Amino acid sequence: MTQASFLTPAASTEPAALAVARCADCDGFSFPANVPGCRHCGAPADRLRAQPCGSPLALLNFVTVHAPLAPGLQVPAVIGEVALAPGLVEEARIDVADESVLALGMALEPVWRAGAEGAAGAWVFRPHATEAAA
Ligand SMILES: [Zn+2]
């Protein structure tokens, strides 16, 4: 799957923070922050303003997948639905070895994972430090 790295802008630097785009027209949130337009009302990118997500973020749902649904996804993998902002839920990789450590509604924190071999990096989520002690 090396050809994918040519299609994806290489993330050569680590993003400062997980960010969403807030729409000046409808006040809705979109992700990622550099979307070409508002996902709610279609407003163009110049109506959107990036703002960092709050942290921790709530885990709404999760599932362990055993099929490689995306290039580079090593399975089994835990995929969760994470509330990034009001009205904005994204599916993301949950960086845990086993879903048994997860609980609905638990606090997560975003962690940037750099891509290997020039591939684009991605945000993953881990249980917030205060809840990972167990
Ligand atoms: Zn909008």
For residue 131 the two structure tokens come to: 């809840």
CA of 46 to the centre of ligand 1 (A): 11
Instruction: Measure the CA–CA gap between 1 and 61, rounded to whole angstroms.
Output: 29
Q: State yes or no: pLDDT of 31 exceeds 80.
A: yes
CA of 22 to the centre of ligand 1 (A): 8
Structure confidence by residue, pLDDT tens digits, 45-97: 999 999 999 878 999 999 999 998 877 778 999 999 999 999 999 999 999 99
CA of 32 to the centre of ligand 1 (A): 14
Q: Which of 112, 113, 94 is nearest to 104 (CA)?
A: 94
Q: What is the pTM of this model?
A: 0.77
Q: For the chain, what are the domain ranges?
A: 18-52, 54-134
Q: How far is CA 112 from CA 24, 43, 89, 123, in A?
A: 27, 28, 18, 5
What residues have a C-beta under 5 A from ligand 1, the ion? 23, 25-26, 28, 38, 40-41, 43
% of the chain residues with pLDDT over 70: 84
